[in-house]
Structure 1
Amino acid sequence: MNETESAPRKKRGRAWLAAGIAVVLVAAAAAGFFWWRGSYRQDSFFDVSALTGALPGKSEEEVIAELNRVVDEGMFNIAINSYITFPDAKGEGVANIENVPGNRYNMTVSIVLDDTGETVYQSKGIKPGQYIQKIRLDEELPEGFYYATAVFTAYAQDEAHTRVGQAAAKIQLEVGG
């Protein structure tokens, strides 16, 4: 075999190698994109301000009582301050929203004004045993007192976050003053 015959074979071999590497890189990029997109979607359900552990300020007896409480299938407990004060329309209020450790569901919490039906706060997901101590309202409210309802929505701990129920608590908000 002479040099003129082997040069085209070498070029074809290099072309196949380059094409193979390109296919592998495209497949790796596609797999990486779908993995990132799936993990983002899953992680974006949960609230970044949710902290794990017992809500600070609870006595040892209260913590033990929560841990010993038996929650029936389909039932869940909710916890939130009944009176939340905000220093101004943009400030933080101590809400002490808690998804107690005995619950078997992830939760989201929305706060809806009773007189207008406007949602002024919406959390992302909170796992059992997590809490959100301080919140900022999503809507700026003028100074004053507001009657509202905290709506806890329970979701199964599956990948689809299937909604399984709701519970509500009447609360009051004070802005400024």
Structure 2
Amino acid sequence: MKNYKKTKISIIIILLLLLVGGFTLYKYMNSQPKEIIAASFLPDEKDAQKMTKKERLKAAEKEIDETTFTLSIYPEATFENGSSKGSLYIRNEVKNAYPIAVELIENGSGDVIYESGAIQPGYEITEGKLAEKLTKGKYKCTANVSIFDPKTKKYKGQTAAEVTLEVKS
């Protein structure tokens, strides 16, 4: 009877170990890096301009923390007409550790109507040209902000903000 209990306990312990080992192996296999496609890399710079020395000095007083990310984007963009440069504001704060790229996507059609190119920490965009000509009107858009590793330039994550874009004529 004693051997029967010991055997039963041994079998239960072995089954538990196999269950824990199997779960651990499953988690490990699913945490392996995924294949990266070409679009997952930081694009070339386009409209971004370096912030003024005064703005950089003020922002540099704050310590860079790789665990936080601050996005500065004005919720309204204005263009005189659908093919001219217009006023929009996107800033990658000096205290950010990561370069970004922004795409404005028109909510109704899903079309990408503006692409910022790379914006390094300490750079900002104050004007840009639309990727496609738009007619007069107001457009609800989503600004998809992609975040990239500064060394490998590989995609790290994304955040978004709502923007209203107006074409005046």
Superposed pair shares fold, TM > 0.5:
yes
Alignment partners' CA distance in 2, 1:124 and 1:62 = 21
In structure 2, the partner of 1:51 is 49
Contact 2:60 2:95 in 1 (8 A): yes
* Structure with greater strand percent: 2
Structure with greater Cα Rg: 1
In structure 2, the partner of 1:162 is 154
Aligned residue runs from structure 1 range 20-169, under 5 A = 45-54=43-52, 64=58, 66-70=59-63, 72-158=65-151, 160-169=152-161
- How far apart are 1:61 and its partner, in Å? 9.0
Contact 2:147 2:157 in 1 (8 A): yes
Alignment partners' CA distance in 2, 1:163 and 1:127 = 14
* Structure with greater helix percent: 1
Runs (4+) of structure 1 moved beyond 6 Å?
60-63
- How far apart are 1:133 and its partner, in Å? 1.4
Which string of whole-angstrom CA distances, capped at 9 and with x for unpartnered residues, describes residues 118-143 of structure 1? 11011211111111211111011111
In structure 1, what residue type is equivalent to 2:167? V
Alignment partners' CA distance in 2, 1:61 and 1:138 = 29
Aligned length: 128
Alignment partners' CA distance in 1, 2:56 and 2:90 = 16
CA RMSD of aligned residues (A): 2.4
Alignment partners' CA distance in 1, 2:113 and 2:47 = 17
Alignment partners' CA distance in 2, 1:76 and 1:107 = 10
- How far apart are 1:54 and its partner, in Å? 3.7
Q: Secondary structure at the match of 2:113?
A: strand
TM-score by length of 2: 0.67
Alignment partners' CA distance in 2, 1:136 and 1:89 = 9
In structure 2, what residue type is equivalent to 1:78? L
Alignment partners' CA distance in 2, 1:63 and 1:147 = 35
TM-score by length of 1: 0.64
